[in-house]
């Protein structure tokens, strides 16, 4: 029976007809798939059930469409099973277009970890597999309290690909924002400076995040911090080394944009080479949303928002919050400059600007100066 093909966003699941090449919702590169339903979800094993090994499916390279759908159901319901003879799966933490994330117990080391599993239909895509390996190789080099490293990259005998990371008992920044509303200046600056330090560590290793957004920042309770939270930058899955070789360059084909449109720098939208100043821009967009609950560029669609960013500077936060410190507003506007050369040259420079621009009282309370 003949099948038609469509292109699907691996992040949000939206479908497009050729010749569309990336998702207008979130900027993800589209994956060409046969037209069929890919069931998600399923019934997890009852609480307290005995741990059983993950069922052994056929090798990924030999999967048909129906096998792929069956594997998707299995990967979505791994609770109470043992993964790769190493990890007792406790519960599902979340899922996205490319992966499922579970909390698990490490059988040998005794640690509680988070395990990210690549969905089966993408494990058959060489580009996705190569990107996952790159994520692991880069994130294993990260060692900073404000970034989440990868502890292990694994592949089971039945071709299941997974990453193991520290389990962080916290809350994503976007959920925290939704629950409590715009941040006070002192709390917001504290978190932003922490994020700057974490990203500077990554930049020093030649790693650019490329997909910084509130969903990728975890707030972990920490009584040693002035405001009680440690900000941890997550998911370097779209990260890329500045000096990547040809095999990595192929992952970002001409005209393909990786990242989330609302937070992309102008040069990322244009598909140009990126450096750490692109992350500076994205963090400034994140900061604008933290302090106002809005994005700095308006648009009825992701495409309109992207175009607005290519046309000039946004209005300052003081147009929305009249009590917002003028110097802090100016610092964020500089970080949102259209041209990368007009922004801060590094995350450390941006952090210093944020600290200095906060009002004297806030600065003294935050940093003891």
Query: In the structure, what pLDDT confidence band is assigned to residue 33 with cuts at 50, 70 and 90?
Result: low
- For the entire predicted model, the pTM comes to 0.74
pLDDT value at residue 29: 64
Instruction: Give me the sheet containing 99-106, strands edge to edge.
Output: 52-53, 81-83, 87-95, 99-106, 112-118, 161-166, 152-155
DSSP notation for 170-199: SEEHHHHHHHH-SPPHHHHHHHHHHHHHHH
With CA atoms as reference, report the closest residue to 148 among 202, 96, 192, 100. Answer: 202
Residues 99, 295: Cα–Cα separation, whole Å: 27
pLDDT value at residue 250: 36
Domain ranges, ordered by start, for the chain: 7-36, 40-166, 171-367
pLDDT digits (tens, 9 = 90+) for 253-265: 333 445 567 888 9
Compare 208 and 22 and report the one with higher pLDDT. Answer: 208
Q: How many CA atoms lie within 13 A of 82 on its CB side?
A: 10
Contacts of 87 (CB under 8 A, 6+ apart): 104, 105, 106, 107, 113, 115, 164
- Give the residue numbers marked as catalytic: 211
**DSSP 3-state of 108:** coil
**Fold for the domain defined by 171-367:** Transferase(Phosphotransferase); domain 1 (1.10.510)
pLDDT value at residue 310: 80
**Among 31-35, 167-171, 200-204, which is the least confidently predicted range?**
31-35
**Fold for the domain defined by 40-166:** Phosphorylase Kinase; domain 1 (3.30.200)
Q: Which two tokens stand for residue 273?
A: 């080479």
Q: How far is CA 167 from CA 62, 95, 104, 267, in A?
A: 33, 15, 8, 34
pLDDT value at residue 324: 95
Q: What percent of the chain stands above pLDDT 90?
A: 47
**Average pLDDT value for residue range 267-276:** 89
**Among 131-140, 287-296, 298-307, which is the least confidently predicted range?**
298-307
């Amino acid at each position: 029976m003949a099948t038609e093909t469509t292109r699907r966003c691996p992040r949000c699941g939206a479908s497009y007809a050729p010749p569309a090449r990336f998702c207008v919702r979130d900027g993800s590169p589209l994956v060409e798939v046969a037209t069929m339903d890919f069931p998600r979800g399923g019934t997890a094993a009852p609480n307290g059930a005995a741990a059983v090994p993950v069922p052994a499916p056929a090798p990924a390279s030999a999967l048909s469409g129906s096998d792929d759908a069956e594997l998707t159901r299995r990967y979505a319901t791994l609770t109470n099973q043992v993964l790769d003879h190493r990890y007792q799966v406790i519960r599902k933490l979340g899922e996205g277009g490319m992966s499922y994330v579970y909390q698990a117990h490490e059988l040998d080391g005794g640690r509680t970890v988070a395990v990210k599993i690549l969905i089966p239909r993408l494990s058959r895509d060489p580009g996705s597999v190569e990107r996952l390996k790159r994520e692991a190789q880069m994130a294993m080099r990260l060692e900073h309290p404000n970034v989440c490293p990868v502890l292990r990259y694994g592949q089971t005998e039945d071709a299941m690909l997974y990453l193991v990371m520290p389990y962080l008992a916290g809350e994503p920044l976007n959920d925290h924002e939704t629950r409590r509303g715009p941040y006070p200046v002192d709390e917001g600056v504290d978190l932003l400076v922490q994020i700057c330090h974490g990203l500077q560590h990554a930049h020093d290793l030649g790693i650019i995040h490329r997909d910084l957004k509130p969903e990728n920042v975890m707030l972990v309770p920490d009584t040693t911090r002035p405001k009680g939270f440690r900000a941890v930058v997550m998911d370097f899955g779209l990260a890329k080394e500045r000096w990547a070789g040809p095999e990595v360059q192929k992952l970002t084909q001409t005209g393909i944009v990786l990242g989330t449109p609302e937070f992309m720098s102008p040069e990322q939208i244009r598909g140009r080479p990126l450096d750490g100043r692109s992350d500076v821009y994205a963090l400034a967009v994140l900061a604008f949303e933290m302090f106002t609950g809005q994005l700095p560029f308006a648009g009825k669609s992701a495409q309109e928002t992207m175009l607005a960013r290519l046309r000039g500077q946004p209005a300052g936060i003081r147009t929305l919050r009249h009590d917002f410190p003028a110097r802090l507003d100016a610092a964020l506007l500089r970080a949102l400059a259209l041209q990368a050369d007009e922004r801060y040259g590094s995350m450390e420079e941006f952090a210093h600007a944020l600290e200095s621009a906060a009002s004297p009282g806030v600065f003294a309370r935050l940093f003891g100066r």
